[in-house]
Structure 1
């Protein structure tokens, strides 16, 4: 692909794009319940205004029941396709106990990276779209729809909005900038995302707490019952034991053990879990985790048996697995392993479908070529352990659309959802260039 015009144009834009990203990181747009709403609305307005500065008229679009989306539509010149550009402006919480080295909402440059909550996930995706459209002075040679969500990290209402307004998301190509390379400078295309299902399990054994000395050894303790139940979810190697859940082998790019240990911060001497290649464990096999438990804190422990215990159990499911079937199997498993005829209540908490992407689509092939041009390196395919439920909703609304999943959230250092989240601006620049090259190629 010829990048002689677009490469210098994107490079010229980057100082202002970096400034926009700093301003966005400074807005604590956490859309979770209990957090202030004003910063979320302020972030939506900033995004709309930013697109406007680069020649694209964007609107604040109300989403019933939730925070607004920022949308824009540039009509397609005759004979050209329409590209939908997606990202999200909301962020994860950033509590101090996570161990941040800097204020998460004070954008801080260190070692060539911008640190702050949302710098990577996913305000970098917004920056990619801003730079892409600015490279064409807001007048791209194809039709463009922009959808910037405000609730991706929490309970999203955008899926219902898409279901009710499928005409607003019709496109030939869906570009989702909420992913990333395994390492800076090594381009990848994501082709599959695991789904995510959650269930809440509660165990009841006694009418009230009782003395562990007087009754321990005969009266059943709810916490011990729950621990026994949770221990049956995996084998000694850490492999999921919930029956009937799909499991596969990853055939794309490799993910080394060294990279995993470094990226996940696995302590020296601690074994990894699961079997098969690391890539298969992360992208093609199910994984079970206990996300939270209602239990007595150590500082408040006393000599009593507990009458009630509760936990949230989550399962990541690979592409091809029906999420509703998966959560049912998870709940059935938990009920079946309850000991001592304890009272058990299990209910569904969340169902997010997996996603798989065909690799023979026209736009996918063009984006592979565009990334190779932008980075000057061969492009590999990877999966993702996370989920983006909206993707299946978009596919239902536009079944013939070709999906392209990219982003600036490198797995090696971005540390999304954790402390010291950061982004390398070169990833934004290269992704914006590749996206602009894709749009240029689609117009031809």
Structure 2
């Protein structure tokens, strides 16, 4: 983690930008609340019309800035989907003038399902302000990212106006939480008009609610379903238990081979990145995660090395008999969902191959294994020496009033590697509005209101300064 001192000398334009952001902040919060109330979820079990509604509302917000020559809601075919279309995305374009660079602003408007609503303290799609935070599904991930872009553009239009020569591409995806299945076809269909010199991905987090960060590394992911079979049909556990291995027994034994006694992943062929990490103690981990008293952390090495630079294996779902329906039966098959994070620098395909080899080699009692629903995404290592990241650090320091930090993230944003591949030479800046207490994807997701304000200030300052640069 590195930092840069906060700048004290703001230009007249910078001062005007900050005043504009602060004056427009209530409207930004109101627009965010409007978007949060639209439950746009890309998974097939949910109402797809809500994604249409969300996309069209964002398109109108983009149109209302007055900055774009064209705004549209568009779909692209799902990769290898036999003509199936992906979810609606918003694309707004303003060509660069006078030799200025073009910046792409990315966010996504789809959200995770709410999960068990009984675990929410307030309704998941009704934004509620409590203790300086806005609670709602998508309040942080990633509708605040959408509104950071829109509110920054509003300030830019108000302060720079007709002197704006910066090229801008606003790209708001509609299926990031569902695997970005049409992402690459969308880029291919719109490659020329989306080509950019700088790409700002507003879908990450910060060191804490007061300290901004530029994300410079993210782990990759390998996500798949594993089915374990031992019987042609269920049998009486009393009549045959003790001689016949049931599928749950085999699954437990198999999964247990994937970690050592410390909880570290024990799969040959999974890489570990060797990189320094800043100070971060167990007390901070407990505060940010809700780790129960008496429950110890897992793994070895520094805590942040375990989160940023090492692989993980997590069971995130299981198909098995519910407790209410349990009977004295030997189960014939069990399906689990495994979500595995891959150390930065290792390809997800290589990591998945190592995991599959391990599971096949350790299948107990000759249990039959089936692998399905395989979804891979590569890790990200951002070039930290470019001029754009230097500008981003300075803008974050000025927008938040404290030094920015370079930050690693244990999560994954696989589509960034697609952006890097298709827009060679573009500098990628990964930012965001989340903090360690945002609980993205979990019940009671929230957005720290002051972080939101500072994020908008920072992005608006960055865009205004890019408007004064020549394209590379």
Name the TM-score, length of structure 2 as normaliser: 0.91
Once the two structures are overlaid, the 10-residue window that deviates more, 327-336 or 157-166, is 157-166
Whether the 8 Å CA contact 1:363–1:438 is kept in 2: the answer is no
Whether the 8 Å CA contact 1:169–1:397 is kept in 2: the answer is no
Query: Is 1:292 paired with 2:303?
Result: no
1:125 pairs with one of 135, 142, 145: 145
Aligned length: 443
Structure 2 residue aligned with 1:422: 446
Q: Which runs of 5 or more structure 1 residues have no equivalent in the other structure? A: none
Whether the 8 Å CA contact 1:88–1:152 is kept in 2: the answer is yes
1:271 pairs with one of 284, 296, 305: 296
Q: 1:257: how far off? A: 2.0
Cα deviations by residue, 1:355-378 (Å, 9 ceiling, x for unpaired)? 110100110011111111112211
Q: 1:98: how far off? A: 5.8
Whether the 8 Å CA contact 2:205–2:213 is kept in 1: the answer is yes
Once the two structures are overlaid, the 10-residue window that deviates more, 429-438 or 16-25, is 429-438
Structure 1 residues 266 and 250: alpha-carbon distance in aligned structure 2, compared to 1, 3 A threshold: farther
Q: Give the secondary structure class of the aligned counterpart of 2:223.
A: strand
Structure 2 residue aligned with 1:79: 99
Give runs of aligned pairs for residues 40-119 of structure 1, distance below 5 A: 40-57=51-68, 58-64=71-77, 65-97=85-117, 99-119=119-139
Cα deviations by residue, 1:5-30 (Å, 9 ceiling, x for unpaired)? 21111111101111100101111111
Whether the 8 Å CA contact 1:98–1:418 is kept in 2: the answer is no
Query: Is 1:6 paired with 2:6?
Result: no
Q: Give the secondary structure class of the aligned counterpart of 2:316.
A: strand
Structure 1 residue aligned with 2:345: 320
Q: Give the secondary structure class of the aligned counterpart of 1:408.
A: strand
Structure 1 residues 390 and 135: alpha-carbon distance in aligned structure 2, compared to 1, 3 A threshold: same
Query: Is 1:235 paired with 2:264?
Result: no
Structure 1 residues 387 and 13: alpha-carbon distance in aligned structure 2, compared to 1, 3 A threshold: same
Cα distance in 2 between the residues matched to 1:207 and 1:432: 59
Q: Give the secondary structure class of the aligned counterpart of 1:178.
A: strand
Q: 1:219: how far off? A: 1.4
Q: Give the secondary structure class of the aligned counterpart of 2:451.
A: helix
Cα distance in 2 between the residues matched to 1:78 and 1:47: 28
Give runs of aligned pairs for residues 37-436 of structure 1, distance below 5 A: 37-57=48-68, 58-64=71-77, 65-97=85-117, 99-137=119-157, 139=161, 140-156=164-180, 157-347=182-372, 349-411=374-436, 413-436=437-460
Cα distance in 2 between the residues matched to 1:221 and 1:54: 61
Cα deviations by residue, 1:79-123 (Å, 9 ceiling, x for unpaired)? 111000000100010133460011111111111211111110000
Q: Give the secondary structure class of the aligned counterpart of 2:112.
A: coil
Cα distance in 1 between the residues matched to 2:299 and 2:73: 45
Whether the 8 Å CA contact 2:277–2:302 is kept in 1: the answer is no
Structure 1 residue aligned with 2:5: none
Q: 1:348: how far off? A: 5.4
Q: 1:346: how far off? A: 2.6
Q: Give the secondary structure class of the aligned counterpart of 1:43.
A: helix
Q: Give the secondary structure class of the aligned counterpart of 1:407.
A: strand
Once the two structures are overlaid, the 10-residue window that deviates more, 192-201 or 48-57, is 48-57
Q: Give the secondary structure class of the aligned counterpart of 1:340.
A: helix
Whether the 8 Å CA contact 1:319–1:356 is kept in 2: the answer is yes
Whether the 8 Å CA contact 1:190–1:406 is kept in 2: the answer is yes
Output the aligned Cα RMSD.
1.5
Q: Give the secondary structure class of the aligned counterpart of 2:66.
A: coil
Structure 2 residue aligned with 1:439: 463
Cα distance in 1 between the residues matched to 2:193 and 2:298: 44
Q: Give the secondary structure class of the aligned counterpart of 1:350.
A: strand
Cα distance in 1 between the residues matched to 2:262 and 2:188: 41
Whether the 8 Å CA contact 2:219–2:342 is kept in 1: the answer is yes
Q: Give the secondary structure class of the aligned counterpart of 2:251.
A: helix
Cα distance in 2 between the residues matched to 1:249 and 1:116: 37
Q: Give the secondary structure class of the aligned counterpart of 1:394.
A: helix
Q: Give the secondary structure class of the aligned counterpart of 1:4.
A: helix
Q: Which runs of 5 or more structure 2 residues have no equivalent in the other structure? A: 1-9, 78-84
1:20 pairs with one of 31, 55, 60: 31
